[in-house]
Structure 1
Amino acid sequence: MAALVSLFADLPFAAPTVTLRAERAGDAAEREALLDAAMGAGRTRKSSEAIRRGRLPAEGLSLVAETEDGALVGTVRLWNVTAGERDGASVDALLLGPLAVAPQFAGLGIGASLMRRAVAESLWRGHRAIVLVGDAPYYERFGFSAAPAAELAMPGPFERHRLLGLELERRALAGAQGAIRPTGRMAVEAD
């Protein structure tokens, strides 16, 4: 058997077929288990979670990745927020997160595919800007940087260098200052 395995050792790993689709109500339990596995139990104590808590994601902007056999292996959601104010008016934006991929599927491009789809869907739906808290080296390839979010703040503790923004419309975050606050529908409204 070892000789047979070594015969194929130089062949690239065949990644499973993964499909991206809109999240469905029946995905909730599997999504939460995936988030716990990928991010750990402390994920609910993050500042971003305070913004999301009790709210519904932005319309049409909850996406999942699933395998051919229906297993959920990735998730990303976006949330309606105000990204501070500019000239006394709220600046509408989206908060992206969490983005997560099942640990056993990490490194296969699933997170990148979810990110590209999330940004494209956000643009297609007419949103002007996206903010997130994350690792700049990862999110820079999708157009995010610290500069557009430099004058914004999260509720509670956060690491300034990890607050990133993406302007889907030119200068959408220019001059925006202050706290990022939730504006999306409350979850109880859906019942």
Structure 2
Amino acid sequence: MTVSHFTIETQTAQDLDTIETMLDAAFGLDRRTRSSYRLREGEEPVEELSLVAREGDCLVGTVRFWPVIVGEGREALLLGPLAVHPDRRNCGIGVRLMETALDKARELGHALVILVGDEPYYRRVGFARVPDGRLVMPGPTDPDRMLYRELVPGALDGAEGLVLSPGRWRELDGGRLTAPRDTRPAREAAAAR
């Protein structure tokens, strides 16, 4: 493992092009077609939680958080994307970005964070699988990759239904559309891929 000396800062407007290039390299050019990206359309990330890691003048990592609404009105954050420059992976940058951002999110009064990702990686910072059928993302999403972290104990209690952007939630008349209780069709579709 290469030792990396980096600082964590709030992203600036000058970082945006470099961030987009890093995200394309990490997730591919089709990344915007994924459910979590579609959920972010028309929304802005939480500015205070849009962080970058730098080694000197080089941007080597990025993380963002987005506001979402769960079910009939529970506010939460959607973590992502998180990316680290390919030459700086396995140096602790991603975990440190998340730890810093999650601490800031708690300080700002946020209670619940969700994401779609690999549980073994995100477990390092306290994420766990969402209980079956509790939360559903619009569009195809493998329910085994739906993860959550409570920043306030009990924040997931009673949270269930569709995860929507605030704009889409308002369009649906306060999110009256709720998640189906049986997620087997979603699991079967994910297994078929």
TM-score range, shorter chain: 0.7 to 0.9
Of 70, 80, 98, 2:67 maps to: 80
Tell me, which stretches of 5 or more residues in structure 1 are unaligned? 1-11, 185-191
Aligned to 1:21: 9
Identical columns (%): 45
1:38 partner letter: A
Tell me, which stretches of 5 or more residues in structure 2 are unaligned? 168-193
Give 1:169-188 correspondences, 5 Å limit. Answer: 169-183=152-166
CA drift of 1:147 comes to 3.4
> How many equivalent pairs are there?
167
TM-aligned CA distance change 1:132 to 1:139, over 3 Å: same
Which deviations, in whole Å up to 9, do the C-alpha atoms of 1:14-66 show, x marking residues without a partner? x2421110011111101000101111112111100011122111131100011
**Which ranges of 4 or more aligned residues in structure 1 deviate by more than 6 Å?**
none
1:120 partner letter: D
Cα RMSD for the two superposed structures: 1.5
Which deviations, in whole Å up to 9, do the C-alpha atoms of 1:48-85 show, x marking residues without a partner? 001112211113110001111x1111000000111223
1:82 partner letter: I
Aligned to 1:49: 37
Conservation of the 8 A alpha-carbon contact between 1:149 and 1:173: no
TM-score by length of 2: 0.82
1:54 partner letter: G
Which deviations, in whole Å up to 9, do the C-alpha atoms of 1:82-136 show, x marking residues without a partner? 1223xxxx11100000000011111110001101011101101110100000000
TM-aligned CA distance change 1:166 to 1:17, over 3 Å: same
Conservation of the 8 A alpha-carbon contact between 1:91 and 1:173: no
